[in-house]
Amino acid sequence: MTAVSDAEIIARRSYVESTGRRRFVRFWRDFVRRRPLGTAGAVLIILMVFAAIFADWIAPYDPIANRFQDLLLGPSPEHLLGTDAFGRDVFSRIIFGSRTALLVGFTASIVGCTIGLVLGVVGAYFGGKIDMTIQRLMDILLSFPLIVIAIAVVAALGTGEDKIANVIAAITVPIIPRVARVVRSSALSVVNMPYIEATRSVGSGGARIMFRHVAPNVFAPYLIMMTAFLGQAILLEASLSFLGLGVFEPTASWGLMLRGAGMQFLERAPWLAIAPGVAISMAVFGFNLFGDSLRDALDPRLRTG
């Protein structure tokens, strides 16, 4: 056995890190060059995140302040997307609405996908009764459409302006089985690989094998599912708010904007429906474009060049 000096260890680490950084930069450079649609999606997402973070500075008006002299004004230089039935600036509400959408979307998809990842890996690793139990539970959840489970969960937990966690939970639950199923199928091929056997033979415990050796190898589908479900979660939040089960007035939320004045004044003030409708579509479109391109980029079978 050859002794390795500290200096050599540091040098090796530094090499690995710099190689990792180079790979990361090269990956995204290739992504931008080869996948313009995915890049467009990423730009939409960045814009949305930027709007959500800097809403207080970007929005020209307070999104919930009533201005009775400005009721239902059409788009103009003062109000880019017009005003609603309370004289509130629609552009400002769209900007602030991105906060609600992203808060719910990111939280629900990260939590949902992570729980799905854990369940998928655990099922694949243990197999047998544990796997069967998890999969049958997932089957039950999968047998209901996404929106039906979300409505059931939010109805059970209750709604309210201070209960946004319930809305997030409602969106998280239907994501779990979908991710668990995909992750499990990827993990099944990993758990039978020789290196897992080798790890087991040197005495590694189940938890270490699952989360140190299996999980990182199913991270690509996890990441792709997460981006895909971000769009779905935003759409679901908008749907719940549209149905009166999400957040409530006067909170700025795209679905709520569509439901309230958007529907009531559709003929007289169409901008009230168009603005949040386009915002929802663009957000979902952006996440879908990005997610699909990311999948293509990460899947070696679909990798080109």
Partner 1 sequence: MLKHRHIAALSVAFALLLAACSPKATGTGSLTPAPAGEQPHPGGTLTFIVNAEPPSFDGHRETTFALLHPIAPHYSTLYKFDPGDLTKVIPDVAAAMPEVSADKLSYNITLRTDVKFHDGSVMTSEDVVATYNKIIFPPTGVLSPRAGAYAAVESISAPAKDKVQFKLKYPSASFGTNLASPWNFIYSAAKLKTDIHWYEKNIDGTGPFTYVSNTKGQDWVGKKNPDYFAKDKSGVQLPYLDGYKALIITDATAEVNAVRSKQAMIEFRGFTPQQRDDLSRALPNDLAIQEAPWICVNYVVPNTKKKPFDDVRVRQALTLAIDRYAGSTALQKITIVKDVGGLMRPKGPFAQSDADLQKIAGFGTDAKANKDKAKQLLADAGVPNLTFKFLNRNITTPYEPVAVFVLDQWKQVGINATHDVKETSAYQADLRAGNFDVALDFNCDFLDEPDLQLAKFWSASGLGKGLNFAYYDDADLDKKIDAQSRETDPAKRLALVADIEKYAMDTKAYQYPVLWWYRIIPYLNVVRGWRIGSNHYTNQDLATVWLAQK
Residue type at 297? Answer: A
Task: Kindly determine how many residues on this chain lie close enough to bind partner 1 according to the rule CB under 8 A.
Answer: 40
Name the token pair of 111. 């939590």
Judged by CB under 8 A, does residue 278 bind partner 1?
yes
Chain position carrying tokens 């679909």: 302
By beta-carbon proximity to partner 1, the closer residue of 44 and 102 is 44
Judged by CB under 8 A, does residue 82 bind partner 1?
no
By beta-carbon proximity to partner 1, the closer residue of 80 and 274 is 274
Least spacing, CB of residue 139 vs partner 1, in Å:
22
Residue 236 phi/psi, 5-degree rounding, is: -70, -40
The whole-angstrom separation of Cα 55 and Cα 38 is 25
- In order of 49, 111, 147, 228, the CA distances from 107 in angstroms are 14, 6, 17, 14
Site string for partner 1, 127-166 (x = CB under 8 A): --------------------------------xxxx----
DSSP for residue 74: P
Least spacing, CB of residue 292 vs partner 1, in Å:
4
Q: Is 89 helix (H, G, I), strand (E, B) or coil?
A: strand
Residue type at 128? Answer: G
Least spacing, CB of residue 105 vs partner 1, in Å:
14
The whole-angstrom separation of Cα 130 and Cα 138 is 12
Residues with Cβ within 8 Å of 230's Cβ and at least 6 positions away in sequence, in order, are 105, 106, 109, 287, 291
Q: Give the interface segment with partner 1, choosing from 20-28, 44-52, 96-104, 256-264 (CB under 8 A).
A: 256-264
Judged by CB under 8 A, does residue 244 bind partner 1?
yes
By beta-carbon proximity to partner 1, the closer residue of 64 and 223 is 64
DSSP for residue 83: B
Among 87, 115, 137, 220, binds partner 1 (CB under 8 A): 87
Contact positions vs partner 1 (CB under 8 A): 64-66, 68, 71, 85-87, 159-162, 231, 244, 248-251, 260-261, 263-268, 270-271, 273-274, 277-278, 280-282, 284-285, 288-289, 292
